[in-house]
Amino acid sequence: MSCENGNCRANKCIECEVTQCANHAKTENYCSLDRIKVGTHEANPTEVKCTDCESFKLD
């Protein structure tokens, strides 16, 4: 599920503070997706900053 037509359901299992994401639950700091994909832009990730939310979609 996503925030189509402004209808957002907060998934309490996925916290998110990135309000610029189209999948942000808007009224609460949660993602509205049922699941997200986490990836990396590094060949050998060793720190949190090496990971990315690949489900991010600009609002």
Count of structural domains, the chain: 1
Distances (CA, A) of 40 to 49, 50, 52, 55: 9, 6, 5, 12
Q: Tokens representing 24?
A: 């942000």
Number of neighbours of residue 7 by Cβ within 10 angstroms: 10
Residue 22 within any structural domain of the chain: yes
- Are 40 and 50 contacting, i.e. CB atoms less than 8 angstroms apart? yes
pLDDT (tens, 9 = 90+) of the chain, 59 residues, equals 567 666 689 999 999 999 999 999 999 999 999 999 999 999 999 999 999 999 999 99
Identity at 58, one-letter amino acid code: L
Residue 58 within any structural domain of the chain: no
Residue 12: give the domain boundaries. 4-53
Q: What was the pLDDT predicted at 18?
A: 96
Residue 26 within any structural domain of the chain: yes
Residue 43 within any structural domain of the chain: yes
Q: What was the pLDDT predicted at 6?
A: 65
